[in-house]
Structure 1
């Protein structure tokens, strides 16, 4: 009797049952919800409220009609801005602050760029002592240097001049700027410069072609700090400037404060005008600022 091997169980010729495709798909894995981090969000929320409320109050006084007390600014008015800009002459103060801020930015960036490169690439006698001296200057308040600086500027005939503000602010910004840029230069491999020298570039040309483009975040950080600190500086402008048409914004805001009364609307409008450029600058350069600070703080 012959046996059909195809019908035997376990036979190599056993027919495999046809598998029909199923339309049902396996259920997607459920995403786990991240736990709410109270220890992070609560302090950040409180800090945000603490920061935003004064700004809202300032804007509220600036666009709310005088004599009203509502927390919602309605109806809106621009009379306080007109009083500040045309009545007090805030446009002149604004222009003076822009001139001084840009000049201090350029001077600080140029000097810090040269000094930071020298500190990062050269070893010279007294380098450690020089760094300690620069760090030591950060512990000296600017108010303690007002009288010596005033005597110095008087000898140089720079009192009542915007250049006195540029020089004073640049000097006080240089120590931190030098440290930041020197740390940033250390993170750039020196082999890149050496490759440019092999290709025929001088050291100066190699610096401009290779190193300088890579220092953009550091220069943005240094320049922004110099501009904002100069923009907000009050003591130097109050001490070295005596003519009203040369006042900067911080000193010009004093004209909204009378002997027996304070024009809160005009003061708030001037504060909005003074804060607006700083807010716009940070909004534009924030990514360069963070990158420049973090790169300059790490030793390569």
Structure 2
């Protein structure tokens, strides 16, 4: 038997008992799929590459590669321009907006998903329609309201404005996440003696973690990048956020591109980290409420 096996192996190799080669059609499909993706990736990453180059190369250098590497632009932005204060203000506004948006969207999404009331469909349509209204159209009414409330030059004006503009889409998204959780598990908890609120916190809320993270991340990113509201409602430099603070590195006749790029790199780090969290939970978010039989 050993001799027979040994004599068969070369025959199997000769007859092509290896993994089949990809067909021409498969190769063409791979090329049609990957070439556009590579081109899009290059188109997207080239601006980020040049931002890093400007941030790390010395002033006056025109080299396409940042060498020798210097951190003088980061020192200028952080200490001379006051970027540390801008960063702190952006974090405060972003975290508060994230918190209020997530809590209110959770309550609104649960109500839209679990209760049937008159005007529910019209309310959801109205929420969708608000996404077609540009924020610039609301600047004058919001400025008048905030001036009457004494919120001009206060970070609370940005928190309120960003939360209001984040809520419509957040409520709709949260409603979908709540609907993915079967109502039967909630009913079973109430049959066992739980109140609706206790059943919600014990059964529903743990399964909404991907939805809460996704909604909160979207709210944080939108608030972090918002330039228009911060420019209109804040005039004191101590209350500037990152987008407005970076705009002041551009003068009337010149611009400090190194400092501008360094500030952009620092501003992009939290957004990149948040997106790294989002992509994981968005993939699993649709099935977050699934229950095994």
Alignment of 1:1-300 (within 5 A): 22-23=5-6, 24-25=8-9, 26-27=12-13, 28-33=17-22, 34-36=26-28, 37-292=30-285, 294=286
Alpha carbons 1:181, 1:218 under 8 Å: kept? yes
Identify unmatched segments of 5+ residues in structure 1. Answer: 1-17
1:37-90 deviation digits (Å, cap 9, x = unpaired):
222112111110111100000000000001111101111100000000000000
Cross-structure match for 1:5 = none
Partner Cα separation in structure 2 for residue 71 and residue 281 of structure 1: 29
Alpha carbons 1:93, 1:246 under 8 Å: kept? yes
CA drift at 1:146: 0.4
Helix, strand or coil at the partner of 1:256: coil
Alpha carbons 1:183, 1:295 under 8 Å: kept? no
Number of equivalences = 278
Helix, strand or coil at the partner of 2:58: coil
CA drift at 1:258: 1.2
Alpha carbons 1:119, 1:182 under 8 Å: kept? yes
1:88-131 deviation digits (Å, cap 9, x = unpaired):
00000000000000000000000000000000000111111111
CA drift at 1:21: 5.5
CA drift at 1:19: 11
Partner Cα separation in structure 2 for residue 237 and residue 245 of structure 1: 12
Alpha carbons 1:165, 1:237 under 8 Å: kept? yes
Partner Cα separation in structure 2 for residue 126 and residue 56 of structure 1: 50
CA drift at 1:295: 5.5
Q: Could you tell me the TM-score, scaled by structure 1's length?
A: 0.89
CA drift at 1:227: 0.1
Instruction: Report which of the two structures shows the higher radius of gyration computed on alpha carbons.
Output: 1
Q: Could you tell me the TM-score, scaled by structure 2's length?
A: 0.91
Partner Cα separation in structure 1 for residue 247 and residue 213 of structure 2: 31
**What is the aligned-residue RMSD (CA, Å)?**
1.7
Q: CA, structure 1 residues 19+59, in 2 after alignment: closer, same or farther (shift >3 Å)?
A: closer
Partner Cα separation in structure 2 for residue 19 and residue 110 of structure 1: 72
Identify unmatched segments of 5+ residues in structure 2. Answer: 289-293
Partner Cα separation in structure 1 for residue 151 and residue 55 of structure 2: 36
1:222-247 deviation digits (Å, cap 9, x = unpaired):
00000000000000001111110000
CA drift at 1:290: 3.1
CA drift at 1:196: 0.5
CA drift at 1:291: 2.8
Partner Cα separation in structure 1 for residue 91 and residue 19 of structure 2: 56
